[in-house]
Amino acid sequence: MSAHGVLYIHSAPPALCPHIEWAVAGIVGAPVGMSWVGQPAAPGAVRAELDWQALPGTAGAIASALAGWNRLRFEVTEDSSPGCDGVRHCYAPDLGLFTAVTGANGDIMVSEDRLRSVMLLAARGGAGRSLEDELGRLLGTAWDNELEPFRRAADGAPVRWLNATG
């Protein structure tokens, strides 16, 4: 079985580029050479995109490997495959890692149990947050707000395909 997705490195210090490529190559089991370009939203930083094809769960493995790296912003997606939901992982240094299940069109899918939980928490005034705040947390609003300037700066950037077998 195979899954595919995209790794978006929104911003990284140039010195991290080979380390990112090595980490991803170790996960997908194939050499990785990404086309790095300047990131206008963060002068001095670079960005790259990589379409990948590998085993289901690869997006999570990539996110785990890259999360916590200083001054790195990224997203990694994995499209749904037989028996597996789609997923999106977002990382920003000040926010940490956000993970969400995604539908076929890329929308975040929130389970009814999670919705019930935040409704109950908000109704009780939990942590002083409103229902709107709790729903924003479930939808990753803070990550979207942080990453959107970096996404927009990437319009028209080249994409490279990576296929791993095995």
What is the pTM assigned to this prediction? 0.85
127 occurs within a structural domain? no
73 occurs within a structural domain? yes
130 occurs within a structural domain? no
- Tell me the torsion sign for CA atoms 139, 141, 142, 145: positive
92 occurs within a structural domain? yes
| Domains held by the chain: number | 1
138 occurs within a structural domain? no
Question: pLDDT tens digits, residue range 42-91?
Answer: 999 999 999 999 999 999 999 999 998 888 999 999 998 888 889 999 99
Least confident of 78-92, 102-116, 120-134: 120-134
71 occurs within a structural domain? yes
d(CA 123, CA 129): 9
User: Do 157 and 49 form a contact (C-beta atoms < 8 A)?
Assistant: yes
pLDDT exceeds 80 at position 19: yes
Tell me the three-class secondary structure of 75-137, residue by residue: EEEECCECCECEEEEEEECCCEEEEEEECCCCCEECCHHHHHHHHHHHHCCHHHCCHHHHHHH
8 occurs within a structural domain? yes
pLDDT exceeds 60 at position 34: yes
Q: Strand 73-78 to strand 3-12: parallel, antiparallel, or no bridges (unpaired)?
A: antiparallel
Q: State the pLDDT at residue 123.
A: 78
137 occurs within a structural domain? no
Q: Which domain holds residue 75?
A: 3-109+147-163
Q: How many CB atoms lie within 10 A of CB 161?
A: 10
- Look-up: residue for tokens 């978006």? 8
User: Do 118 and 134 form a contact (C-beta atoms < 8 A)?
Assistant: yes
- Tell me the torsion sign for CA atoms 86, 47, 142, 25: positive
